[in-house]
Structure 1
C-alpha cells in the first residue's frame, strides 16, 4: 500500500510520542499516559498516512504495558491469605516481590523495544503494519 509521506509535524509528533513512551519507565508510567492521551486526540489528524499505523502501535503498546504492570502486582493479594504464619508471609512476600520485579522489568524492556522499533520504522518512512 502506498501512503503519502509526511515529513512535517506528524513525523515529529510521532517520534516525540515514542520518546515519551521510552521515558515513561522513569515516571511511573505518567508520561505514557500523557502520550496515550495525545495519541487518541491526534489520531484523526494522521488518518491515511503512515503515522496512523504508528499511533495504533503506540496505543496497543500502552494498553499491554498497563496490563503487564497490573498483573505484576496481583501476587501480592495472596499476602492476605497467609494468616498469622510469619514463615508463609515471608515466602509469599518473597515470591510476589520476585515475580513483580521480573514482570515490571520485562515490561520496561518490552516498551523500550517497541518504541525503538517504531522510531526506526518511522525513520524509514514505513508504516508499522503492512
Structure 2
C-alpha cells in the first residue's frame, strides 16, 4: 500500500460576487435566482420565461385532473399520466422536471399499491365466503385478516396519493421544485 499523498494543488471554485448587479438589477434575491438558473447540461439551453409559464399552467392542469379523477371513479387518471409523458422532455434541466417526475411516480406507485390492496382484499373476501360456507372458523378468520390488510394497503395508497398531489401542487404554486 502506497502511503504517498497526492501533492497537487487543488483550485477553489470561484464564489459568485453577489454585489454585482445581474441584468441591471441589484436585488440580492434576483441575483440569487439568476445563479440558481444555471444550466445543468451545457449542451441544453434554459427555457424561456413564456415556455416556463406554459409548463407551469400545464402542471396545474395535470394536478387538477388527478384531483378530479376521484370524482370520476378513477376514470380520469389516464389523462394526466399521458399528459405528463407527452411534455416531460420539454422541462428537462429545469425545476419543473421534478413535477413531471413526481406526478409520474405518484401515479405508478399508487396503481401498484392500490392493485395489491384490492387483490388481497378480494382474495380475503373470497376465502371468507369459502370459510363461512365450509363452516371453518380458522379459514374465515384468516380470510378476514387478509381482507382487512388489503383494505389497509388500499387506504394507504389512497391517502398517500392525495398527500403527494397536494404536496406537489403546493410546491408548484410556490414555483419551487418538489424534493
1:77 equivalenced with 2:123 (yes/no):
yes
- Greater length-normalized contact order (CA 8 Å, ≥ 6 residues apart): 1
Q: How large is the RMSD of aligned CA atoms in angstroms?
A: 2.6
Structure 2 stretches of 5 or more lacking a match? 1-35, 39-46
Per the normalisation by structure 1, the TM-score is 0.79
Equivalent residue pairs, number: 129
Return the alpha-carbon distance in structure 2 between the equivalents of residues 45 and 15 of structure 1.
Answer: 16
Paired residues for 1:1-130 under 5 Å = 1-2=36-37, 8-75=53-120, 76-77=122-123, 79=126, 84-85=134-135, 87-88=137-138, 90-129=140-179
Return the alpha-carbon distance in structure 1 between the equivalents of residues 66 and 118 of structure 2.
Answer: 21
User: Which has more helix, going by share of residues?
Assistant: 1
Structure 1 stretches of 5 or more lacking a match? none
Q: Which has the larger radius of gyration?
A: 2
Per the normalisation by structure 2, the TM-score is 0.60
Return the alpha-carbon distance in structure 2 between the equivalents of residues 87 and 10 of structure 1.
Answer: 57
